[in-house]
Structure 1
């Protein structure tokens, strides 16, 4: 019998979340961000599930784009970081990709390359994230050079990234937005600015294109949920089962270092899931877990292949009982990956992308 740990991927939920992103900005197009293997969900199956809805996809690098093309995806694909060396431009052209240009060397490489057809280009502006992008004072000159080279570049857009669109305090977002809006007006440029939180919460940022990412997978990216983000549906359910049950006396320790000690005579369920599968070792005692659709909690440090839960108050819990580490249980109860992430002092992105290859993905829906 196979190990019971599996990542169930609900492709109908993925489509629901994409439609939600699209509906927040009815005058924009939504490029579906499926970098990092669709945030751990499987890039090709997710792209196939969305290909009749999404007019374009976005990835981080050429290798991710090649995987999609090899999987039969024909829609436009945006390279969000552009190329990493000039030699990649040949593959960009061959695969029919769109690309970000964020640095002078990328611009020079593109203008030195002779494509058979011009390459669609999104010019990245550093509006305050201070990661990638041209300084705002250089953008107009960059734009002029690209406009003057129509045999090299076409379909120019401005893009940027918000540092605080998820936050309650609007000041820094407004600073970035004011700068970008003025720049776009001077250039009469279409924009792609809104990430997941901006798509959900900041209509002023909605441009010709938006870039929903983590929200597609059911994670709420906002510090404080709003009406739209509360309608997101979990796409991944990380599911396992209890493989052993122990009866221990009050005061007995559980797990490495004896971090958790039984406050009373207790029943402990051993679950087939550990940090060797991608479940975060930093999870604290009390991290929520669903057993048979009922909330209980982690008891003791996470091991490589197993973790332990307190099932003292769950009379029906036994060997073989369903365990949901995050996602939707069979009875419909949902444990948000965002809630689990808070107990691990991390974010949902880390948990979702961290589910390792030895955990099988099982796909449902979107037939």
Structure 2
């Protein structure tokens, strides 16, 4: 492909971030969450950085099988559980643990008559109001699961709604009240709770986005003191330079007007590569290691940047769209989205390499 755009995935950064979570939750075991193809990075690419995890958590059976085929011997958790009889058979064949959030899923396991019991994570809806048994129904659901053939160990599970920007105590109190005196391990903490709510760490934590170096809150300032490392770099080059006079405009809809004479650079990256179309003028970007800003609208294949801070930049100058220097959360915030989406939206046409 002739365009100079490339993405780089850093499994050593994933390993670093995983160890950081371990230090912050030293009494807990760690599920490394790799759903959505490892948040757009590619499971195979980040796999070398996951060795220290106690288990891998994901959504898709196909991804679970891939992880086993890569040689993973430790637990694998299906975060949304099973949906068909064949799913149960695959879970049995590959030794998967499955989340169970409704009686229909429990009945699927029972009806499949697995030759060896399948361990489950029994999910409580403690206030997120997506999946799970209501607190007042949870104990009865546990009793039914405990007496069901084909079900092995039961871990107690819930998911927090606002661990990234508020208290988890209201949900934790519901969870603790409903599970009081029930045997079994507990798992309640997502990335935000693993970082910021040590009272919720329990037996297992389930970090996702923090493994990839982005903030659960979507604000990079919230992780400035945590020393996370970016696991993905999106890089390109300047493929054009234009001299503008005061009053000249840039790009579609003439969305940016120069206030004074200036140079702009044209970068080989656009929304068809996964860069957010709605990133506003002023979105941070780096040219030859110098921080500057985007100007004008993002096009399908190109975007434009202000070269005022980097007067020596020219065609071929290296551009970092996000990575070590340009925080993916800051790019996302400028486009009114979150870093999760940008990672997952990296386009298939962008070549990806693994590097340290």
With structure 1 as the length reference, what TM-score do the two structures score?
0.93
Deviation at 1:224, TM superposition (A): 8.5
* Aligned position for 1:66: 65
Deviation at 1:96, TM superposition (A): 1.2
Q: Deviations over 1:15-51 (max 9, x none)?
A: 0100011111111100000001111111122123312
1:326 counterpart (303, 322, 330)? 322
2:344 counterpart (339, 348, 353)? 353
Gaps of 5+ in 2: none
Deviation at 1:74, TM superposition (A): 3.2
Q: Deviations over 1:76-96 (max 9, x none)?
A: 211000012233111111111
Deviation at 1:225, TM superposition (A): 5.3
* Aligned position for 2:182: 187
* Aligned position for 2:203: 208
- Structure 1 residues 245 and 227: CA distance shift in structure 2, 3 A: closer
2:241 counterpart (235, 242, 245)? 245
* Aligned position for 1:31: 31
Q: Is the 8 A contact 2:136 2:178 kept in 1?
A: no
Q: Deviations over 1:148-187 (max 9, x none)?
A: 23x41122101111001001x32xx211011112233231
Q: Deviations over 1:182-214 (max 9, x none)?
A: 233231331110000000010111121110000
Alignment RMSD: 1.6
* Cα distance in 1 between the residues matched to 2:220 and 2:348: 32
Q: Is the 8 A contact 1:20 1:228 kept in 2?
A: no
Q: Is the 8 A contact 2:117 2:150 kept in 1?
A: yes
Gaps of 5+ in 1: 329-333
* Aligned position for 1:331: none
Aligned length: 355
The reply on whether 1:309 has 2:308 as its aligned counterpart is no
Deviation at 1:2, TM superposition (A): 3.5
Secondary structure of residue in 2 paired with 1:123: strand
Give every structure 1 segment of 4 or more consecutive aligned residues whose post-TM-superposition deviation is greater than 4 Å: 223-229
Secondary structure of residue in 1 paired with 2:189: coil
1:153-164 alignment to 2 at 5 Å? 153-164=151-162
* Cα distance in 2 between the residues matched to 1:115 and 1:132: 25
1:102-117 alignment to 2 at 5 Å? 102-117=101-116
Q: Is the 8 A contact 1:218 1:234 kept in 2?
A: yes
